[in-house]
A = this chain, B = another copy of it.
Amino acid sequence: MNGAESLLTTLVNNGVEVCFTNPGTSEMHFVAALDEVEGMRCVLCLFEGVLSGAADGYARMARKPASTLLHLGPGLGNALANIHNAKKGHVPVVNIVGDHATYHLQYDAPLTADIEGIARPVSHWVYTSKAPGDIARDAAEAVRQAGIGQVATLMLPADVSWGDNPNGPEGRVAVAPPAVVPAARLQQALALLQSGARCMVMIGGREIDGGRGLLLSRIGKAAGARVCTEVFPGRVARGAGTAVIDRLPYLAELAIDHIKDIEHLILVGAPAPVSFFAYPNVPSAIAAPGCEQFVLAGPNDDIDQVLEDLLQGLGAVDVAPEVQPLTLPDLGAGPLDVFKLAAAVGHFLPENAVVVDESITSGFALYPATAAARPHDWLNLTGGSIGWGLPAAVGAAIACPERKVICLEGDGSAMYTIQSLWTMAREQLDVTVVIFNNTRYSVLEMEFARTGARGGKPGPNAASVLDIGDPDMDFTAIAAGMGVQASRATTAEEFNQQFAAAMQAKGPRLIDAVVPTMF
């Protein structure tokens, strides 16, 4: 058994059964091993930014890591932005990065690069395997590291891949369970909640599932505290039957106002809230200067347990949560806009759908319009780096083949990783992509004003850089070129019909929704 086969076997033994890849010469023995080792589904993507985003979306939905297989430093570089997003979202990922044979590095061939150097800023754990006899052990360690909500990046030199591994593969390794929050810290939080001060519990972390949301709602009611989620939770259960929970607004000005009266902000898996960017004359911290921020649990701690314990500690096991009823928005008519589009999404969203949201400014109306839709999971961009939505939808669809995936995507961000459409077609993934085609970097038009640059008014050169409508993009043509069935909607009636049909059908489909910009 060569190194690559022992690596693959170890991954499969540990439940890592999907590999998103775009390989090169140095990874050919890994590719060859796909026919020697059973149990690994290999998904080809035409660009590495697609596959790293897919690994993120997969892991969020499968609740376990996928692997990536990347070609040397530049392949890792291409994947970097979506690895960054996964890292910020505490998403487990195992990256396997092929390198030249160990003895070949001294020759500084054209593709030689400092791969560890590229990996470190976006990985919690980075390691270069040294010998074929080590690679299975190293892969097992990568799985252990990823399992606790981390990005593990393992370099696989070509000779480690092709050499004989006398030690064979590793079996199942133990991944550390989430840490239980110490009792003393729990008591401090209870004391705050029972102090009579104005408290808010903010939840975040890898996932806010239905159970956690309901627990949080009950805690809030029992303690008379406000509850909310972080701005962009990685995965959150929403819709009818889930708890009514605010989310912190994106815009710093609104977020600061939203929690200005809070005296104690209790953080459960969420980081202390901060402005996404710095602006002249806007504070970086969202909490009021006098607010005490108390970290009750980190993102990888045992959040179920701490919520249960809080509820128990409040003596509130009988308190009922505030629950969303099923309320479907009415459909709109006439020229399409983001509100009518959002209404249609909320109206037709099928039960158990997975929504991948990278709609940026066009999505302001989506969250409210779907709050009481049929129950679904919602995935957000956790690291702020655009080009995540289409890839994440690929990964989510592979993790959950029985669930409809809806990808709500800005036109600008769609173009970052548009190659995702090809993998959707190739794998016949059940993804409906909605492009909010407003021909603008609309968020930057807003941000230009917020930064106050040039008095908030872009001149002609600046305006040109924020305008992606010259030429207009025709996403139906682009999709067709990659084998995805597509249609265009300019009226609410067209969108309603096309979206409803897509919800009924199986397989990849794209709707190029022409909407006015929000600004």
| A interface residues (Cβ-Cβ under 8 A, vs B) | 21, 23-26, 28-29, 31-32, 34-36, 42, 44, 46-47, 49, 72-75, 77-78, 80-81, 84-85, 88, 100-101, 103-104, 106-111, 113-115, 117-118, 120-122, 158-159, 162, 232, 271-272, 274-278, 280, 284-285, 382-385, 387, 412, 415-416, 418-419, 422, 425-426, 443-444, 447-448, 450-451, 453-454, 458-462, 464-466, 468, 470-483
**Is the beta-carbon distance between B415 and A448 smaller than 8 angstroms?**
no
Set of chain B residues within 8 Å of A115, measured between Cβ atoms: 121
Are the C-beta atoms of A415 and B419 separated by less than 8 Å? yes
Q: Is the CB of B416 within 8 A of A46?
A: yes
Choose one: B28, B35, B471; the contact of A483 (CB below 8 Å).
B471
With a cutoff of 8 Å between Cβ atoms, the chain B residues found around residue A78 in the complex are: 49, 78, 80-81, 387, 416
A33 to B498 alpha-carbon distance, docked (Å): 43
- Cα–Cα, bound, A143→B282 (Å): 34
Check B47–A103 contact: CB distance below 8 A: no
Q: How far is the CA of A206 from the CA of B220 in the complex (A)?
A: 66
Instruction: Determine how close the nearest CB of chain B comes to the CB of A269; give it in whole angstroms.
Output: 15
Complex interface: chain B residues within 8 A of A42 (CB)? 461, 464-465
22 pairs across A/B with beta carbons < 8 Å?
A: A28-B451, A32-B454, A42-B461, A44-B468, A74-B84, A74-B383, A78-B387, A84-B113, A100-B278, A101-B278, A101-B284, A103-B284, A110-B383, A110-B384, A111-B385, A113-B121, A115-B121, A118-B118, A162-B280, A477-B480, A477-B481, A478-B482
Known: A77-B84, A117-B120. A481 touches B475 (CB 8 A): yes
Cβ contact within 8 Å between B104 and A275: yes
- Number of this chain's copies in the assembly equals 2
- Whole-angstrom distance between the Cβ of A128 and the nearest chain B Cβ: 14
Cα distance A130–B487 in the bound complex, in angstroms: 50
| In contact, B73 and A464 (Cβ under 8 angstroms) | no
Chain B min CB distance to A267 (Å): 13
Which residue of A77, A85, A104, A284 has the most chain B CB atoms within 10 A of its CB atom? A77
Give the CA-CA distance A277 to B278 in the complex, in Å. Answer: 45
Chain B residues near A100: list those with CB within 8 A: 277-278
- Quote the shortest CB–CB distance from A487 to chain B (angstroms): 14
Besides A28-B451, A77-B77, A477-B480, 7 more A-B contacts (Cβ < 8 Å) are A23-B444, A31-B462, A72-B385, A100-B277, A110-B382, A471-B482, A477-B478
Question: Is A426 within 8 A of B470, CB to CB?
Answer: yes
Give chain B residues whose Cβ lies under 8 Å from the Cβ of A101. 278, 284
A415 surroundings in chain B (CB, below 8 A): 46-47, 419, 422
**A26 surroundings in chain B (CB, below 8 A):** 277-278
